[in-house]
Structure 1
Amino acid sequence: MRILLTNDDGFNAAGIIAIAKEMQKDHEIIIAAPKSQKSASSHSISLKQPLLVREEKIEGISGKIYSIDGTPADCVRVAMDKLVDGRVDVVVSGINYGLNSGTDILYSGTVSAAIEGSMHGLPAIALSQEVNEDSGSFSLSSIHGKRIVEEVIDRGLEKGMVLNVNFPIANNDTFNGIKVCKVGVKSYTNSYVPIKQGEDGIVYELRDENIDITHEDTDTFYLKDGYITISPLQYDLTNFNSIIEIKKWF
């Protein structure tokens, strides 16, 4: 099978290299990813800025590699239009350095790149891993990530659906299992601290802290217990239950 890999951490990030090395054991891979870090870029695209595309080399990666001076969504769009010769069977975004769980998915470039793949009519999966000061290896999540991707290849996905997969920090090189669940809620203090003041104005820096909001049967709940979480997402944001009621207003 032919797999398009992308991310928001950059084409040479550890997570995308780990999943690429695992996937290329049995599949053809193509990497099209940002030239540099583009975390929290959501689904933004470059409308006016020309995009520089370069073919890159990474030791141990056999497939084509392209760096693109744009957003994660740009990377998928450019790849599908110009870089991929022939079919693509699935789009995989990640493995992201850090979780994309709960309402954080709204800001995530990783998830948005997967959604862009789905908008091109392809099965798409976003992969993210929890990290801390003591963990940085993607070896276990790449093995499980490959298994999940291959299940999608075998079974397919409903049109307009994206799988958002999160891996907790592995304890003793094991996860507790897989939970398919809904998306939880995350909230932050959103504190903007002034760090410089001059004639042009005040420079603020975001120093937010997570406010713990945990609901049962959600990704944020199960990740704390060491489970891999899979949340099926859709990008049709219509609130169908409200259409009939709001029609009465006008």
Structure 2
Amino acid sequence: MRLLLTNDDGINARGIYYLAKELQKYHEIIIVAPDNERSACGHSITLTRPLIVRGTKLKGLKSKAFSVDGTPADCVKVAINKLIDGKIDMVISGINKGLNLGADILYSGTVSAAIEASIYKIPSMAISMEIEKGIENYDMASIYVGQLLRKAKENNIKNDMVLNVNIPLIKENEIKGFKVCKIGSTWYNNSYIETDRKNNETQYEIKGALKDIYEEDSDTIYFREGYITVTPLHYDLTNFKILKDVSQWF
């Protein structure tokens, strides 16, 4: 397969390096990623200035690579429209340094890059890995991505499908398998801490801890039970459950 890899942690992030290193064994890889970290930038794109694209060489990787001084969605758009000739079979965004469970997908640059691909009718995956106390295991995560990629190919993944994948940081023999499930509910007890004040300006830094809300058959629950969660997403945010109800207003 011919794969476009991107992320929101930046082109020099370990996650995208290990992912490319594993997938280049079996597939043609092109990397187009932000020049610096763009975490939690959502689906923003750059409109007020030109984008700067630089060809680069990543040590140990044989694939073409480009850095973009923009967002993950920018990277996918410029890759498809300008940098890559011919068909792209799939876009894989990640491996993200940290999880994208529940409502986090609304803020995630990792997920937004994958969704951007589906707008162009290219199937995609957003891959996120649990990180705890600086411990990372992208080697193991990359192997599971390869397995999921084979399953997607065997089952003819649809061209507008996005798979949001979260991999727990536990021993390989403790992972119970893949669990396809819905997005769960999450909530942060956010607070804004004043860090500086001068003249008429005040600086605030956001702090907060994640609070899971129990919801059956959701990614937040199955993830804590030791599963790799897989959630199909689509960019159509229409709430079809209440579409008829709202139409009756008029």
One-letter amino acid matched to 1:112: S
Question: 1:98 is matched with which residue?
Answer: 98
Q: Give, in whole Å, the separation in 2 of the partners of 1:174 and 1:53.
A: 42
One-letter amino acid matched to 1:160: D
Deviation for aligned residue 1:248: 2.0
Q: Give, in whole Å, the separation in 1 of the partners of 2:144 and 2:44.
A: 29
Relative to structure 1, is the Cα distance of residues 136 and 157 closer, same or farther in structure 2, using a 3 angstrom cutoff?
same
CA contact (8 A) 1:90 1:153 kept: no
Where does the alignment leave 5 or more consecutive residues of structure 2 unmatched?
A: none
Q: Give, in whole Å, the separation in 2 of the partners of 1:131 and 1:156.
A: 32
Deviation for aligned residue 1:154: 3.0
SS of structure 1 residue aligned to 2:39: coil
Q: Give, in whole Å, the separation in 2 of the partners of 1:163 and 1:227.
A: 15
CA contact (8 A) 1:89 1:153 kept: no
| Percent identity between the two aligned chains | 49
Relative to structure 1, is the Cα distance of residues 112 and 172 closer, same or farther in structure 2, using a 3 angstrom cutoff?
closer
Question: 2:49 is matched with which residue?
Answer: 49
Deviations 1:216-244 (A, max 9, x none): 21111111121101011111111123222
Moved more, 175-184 or 132-141: 132-141
Q: How does 1:151-170 map to 2 (within 5 A)?
A: 151-170=151-170
* Aligned residue pairs, count: 250
Deviations 1:176-218 (A, max 9, x none): 2111111111100110011111113211100111123232211
One-letter amino acid matched to 1:245: D
One-letter amino acid matched to 1:92: I
One-letter amino acid matched to 2:218: T
CA contact (8 A) 1:123 1:156 kept: no
Q: Which runs of 4+ in 1 moved over 3 A?
A: none
Provide TM-score, normalisation by structure 1.
0.96
One-letter amino acid matched to 1:86: G
Q: Give, in whole Å, the separation in 2 of the partners of 1:242 and 1:181.
A: 22
Relative to structure 1, is the Cα distance of residues 122 and 210 closer, same or farther in structure 2, using a 3 angstrom cutoff?
same
Q: How does 1:131-210 map to 2 (within 5 A)?
A: 131-133=131-133, 135-171=135-171, 174-210=174-210
